[in-house]
Structure 1
Amino acid sequence: MIPDSPKAAASAAQSSRAFQIAARAGYVVLGLVHIIIGAIAISVAVGAGGGEADQGGAMEQIARVPFGVVVLWLIVLGLFALGVWQIAEAFLERDPDTKKKWGRRIKEVGTAVAYFAIGGTALVYALGGQSDSSQSSAKMTADLMAAPGGILVVVLIGLVVLGVGIAFIVRGIKRSFEKHLSLPAGKTGDGIRTLGTVGYVAKGIAVAVVGVLFVVAAITHDPEKAGGLDAALKSLAALPFGQVVLWLVGAGLIVYGVYCFARARYARL
């Protein structure tokens, strides 16, 4: 039987056992990507190089290992499934408060877009291509700044990204991520809460710095200052005690990756 509405289709997708397994696999591959990004950030902090500390850098590292292309395709499938799941969540949002309902829908769709973007990066590498997020960000920023009102648009993008980073930090401190999990009692549940708190705060710091870079690029009229996650993390190294901060953020991203593994097991789907 073919569902006769988008909401019915979303409900059918969520009730599919195969789709639930694919969505949980998406959390696993998301965790793998964050662990690799965190490891690259730490290698940068200790002066060992390591490549780009972003999704592209993580995919490049995966592509180099035996059967790396197979892993990349699994990442593509897992993250695309997770993205579709988030879209289904948006359709099925039932909060009676209209403002809250649409706010949550926007958040769910935004999360889905992020999953699709990471999955798209994996797809590029799975097909044998490469991606340079720093150059892409600089070019996009330069094009926007050259357009009428472009400076304001770049500032708004930076503020939105900064807001997302702050939201991650707040979510970690308040442990609001718990409502999406079915945690067991005892030390296992406590351990997962700790992983989530540390991971969300670390990821929030990294994302917030990306937003700050966009604002700085707009204020200084220098699109080269804008960059993705790699540029944000490496900019931390230039601060006083920056290498220590970068090491801690990198370790926190690894913790977030481990949390994603736990989320794959205990997420409410």
Structure 2
Amino acid sequence: MDAQSWTLRGRGRARRAADSTAMSVAARAGFVARGLIYVLVGVIALRIAFGGDGGGHQADRGGALGELAGRPFGAAMLWTVGIALAGMALWRLSEAVFGGAGPDGSALSRRAASVFRFLFYGFVSFSVLSYAAGDRGSGSGASDRQTDDVTARMLDWPGGQWLVGGAGAAVVIAGLWISVQAVRKKFRENLRCGAMSGRTERVVGFLGVTGGAARGAVFAAAGVFALVAAVRHQPGQARGMDDTLRGFRDLPAGPWLLALVALGLAAFGFFSWCEARWRKV
């Protein structure tokens, strides 16, 4: 058998693996894990909204992992979440290589987005698994400290202010895009709505709109803080997820505004669980 035949056979096997039940299970497990993290972040943010310190945890991924670690069977749950997120990364890689579900699943823009998501979930999975293995400083530390460190290094580069400002503007645009797409219910294109009852479809739609809008708002707010850091050349002005959420509390009617955002993030977590059930994969 020549090299071309071996290549075609290898591609065929890879394609079958991408379309397999195992890959579908990996993707759905990843949505469950993502949902759990967002629900926990929402719970912590709710505690912060009404004068608490978040139960000793920050309202970010690291805080969610700490919350999990303190529960019965916490170590096993951390390993499970890390492995599930690795499954999510693998599924995103298969989308990048072979295309995703839907009529535009093979579009270049969709494939490029899948590459980014593969890298993102691969990093998150690695950080969670490292945390589970005992490395409490691996990718799970305070998002605010990490943001300050990265921003400070970038501001020291030639043209650093422009780089930080450009990154901040990109995050603002991404956040607004996420919110607008959620309000327009574009997520329905990726769901098997025909498999839902009318009532279930309305609930899922509400969770998708509310959760996506809140998630986008947090992204946009974080981008604004990065822009401020660039303009003032002060890395401390940039904020991670925890400080961004606490920033909502400092606004007029702040505790109630933060509570709404926290409920929205929790709603996105519940929506992720709905995706685990009805997402086209």
Place the TM-score, normalised by the shorter chain, in its bin. Answer: over 0.9
Q: Which moved more, 1:88-97 or 1:20-29?
A: 88-97
Structure index of larger Rg: 2
CA drift of 1:111 comes to 2.3
CA drift of 1:91 comes to 1.9
Q: 1:203 to 1:7 in 2, by over 3 A?
A: farther
In 1, Cα distance between the equivalents of 2:221 and 2:10? 37
- What runs of 5+ residues in structure 2 fail to find an aligned partner? none
Equivalent residue, structure 1, for 2:174 = 164
Q: Which moved more, 1:144-153 or 1:15-24?
A: 15-24
Q: 1:6 to 1:101 in 2, by over 3 A?
A: farther
Of residues 33, 48, 63, the one that matches 1:29 is: 33
In 1, Cα distance between the equivalents of 2:78 and 2:34? 11
In 1, Cα distance between the equivalents of 2:59 and 2:115? 25
Letter of the 1:46 partner, please give it: F
Of residues 220, 226, 249, the one that matches 2:238 is: 226
Equivalent residue, structure 2, for 1:192 = 204
Letter of the 1:111 partner, please give it: R
Equivalent residue, structure 1, for 2:157 = 147
Letter of the 2:109 partner, please give it: G
Of residues 47, 51, 55, the one that matches 2:51 is: 47
CA drift of 1:30 comes to 0.7
- RMSD over aligned Cα atoms: 2.2
- What runs of 5+ residues in structure 1 fail to find an aligned partner? none
Q: 1:152 to 1:104 in 2, by over 3 A?
A: same
Matches within 5 A, 1:75-86: 75-86=81-92
Q: In the alignment, is residue 175 of structure 1 matched against residue 175 of structure 2? A: no
Equivalent residue, structure 2, for 1:123 = 129
Aligned length: 267
Task: Note the alpha carbon deviations across 1:57-83, whole angstroms, 9 max, x for none.
Answer: 100110111111111111111111111
Equivalent pair of 1:60/1:125 in contact (CA under 8 Å): no
Q: 1:143 to 1:42 in 2, by over 3 A?
A: same
In 2, Cα distance between the equivalents of 1:21 and 1:53? 29
In 2, Cα distance between the equivalents of 1:44 and 1:10? 47
Q: 1:96 to 1:182 in 2, by over 3 A?
A: closer
Task: Note the alpha carbon deviations across 1:19-43, whole angstroms, 9 max, x for none.
Answer: 2112111111111000000011111
Equivalent residue, structure 1, for 2:97 = 91
Of residues 63, 69, 73, the one that matches 2:69 is: 63
Q: Which moved more, 1:231-240 or 1:259-268?
A: 231-240
In 2, Cα distance between the equivalents of 1:46 and 1:242? 10
Equivalent pair of 1:158/1:214 in contact (CA under 8 Å): yes
Of residues 18, 24, 28, the one that matches 1:20 is: 24
Calculate the TM-score normalised by the size of structure 2: 0.88
CA drift of 1:87 comes to 1.7
In structure 2, the residue corresponding to 1:34 is in which secondary structure? helix
Equivalent pair of 1:192/1:262 in contact (CA under 8 Å): yes
CA drift of 1:4 comes to 4.6
Task: Note the alpha carbon deviations across 1:166-202, whole angstroms, 9 max, x for none.
Answer: 1210111110011111022411112111111111001
In 1, Cα distance between the equivalents of 2:6 and 2:32? 31
